Amino acid sequence: MKQYFLYAIALLIPVAILGWFLFALGKAFASLYDDWKLGKELDELQNQSPARSRQLELGREQRLATGCAHEFDLAVFGMPANVCGKCGMEREKPAGSCDHVWRLGKGAIPNSYCERCGKVYSATQ
């Protein structure tokens, strides 16, 4: 009886090691497949990148095509940085939902406000 038990243990240990090895090999192949799929997706994104960049640049140019000779370097006290002193548009579209158009506010403290959303900018902030 002891002999059969030892044979069973001696047989189960190599089978368990072989099973673990096959499981690890399967995980490695699954990881390689995932990396291959991600590489294909990355190649597609890299191929689309120049077209997307051109599209975004065209959108920026169309956004600023208002007929104003923009002067973003014209410093108007009370206005945020990189804002055209003539028309009030920002050089880059802000991250929020509003494409701010800044106007000078009235008061003792120099400030400005967005005429579209009402956000207030104070130069003393």
Which residue from 72, 73, 60, 57 is spatially nearest to 99, judged by alpha carbons?
60
Together in a domain, 74 and 24: no
> If you search the block for the tokens 């406000």, which residue do you land on?
113
Q: Which amino acid is at 111?
A: N
Q: What angle do CA 19, 21, 25 make, to 5 degrees?
A: 115
Mean pLDDT, the chain, rounded, equals 88
Together in a domain, 7 and 57: yes
- Tell me which residue range forms the domain holding 7: 1-65
Q: What is the pLDDT of residues 96-113, one digit of tens each?
A: 888 888 888 887 888 888
Q: What is the pLDDT of residues 17-57, one digit of tens each?
A: 999 999 999 999 999 999 999 999 999 999 999 999 999 88
- Model confidence, pTM: 0.55
Question: Pick from 65, 84, 110: which residue ends a domain?
Answer: 65
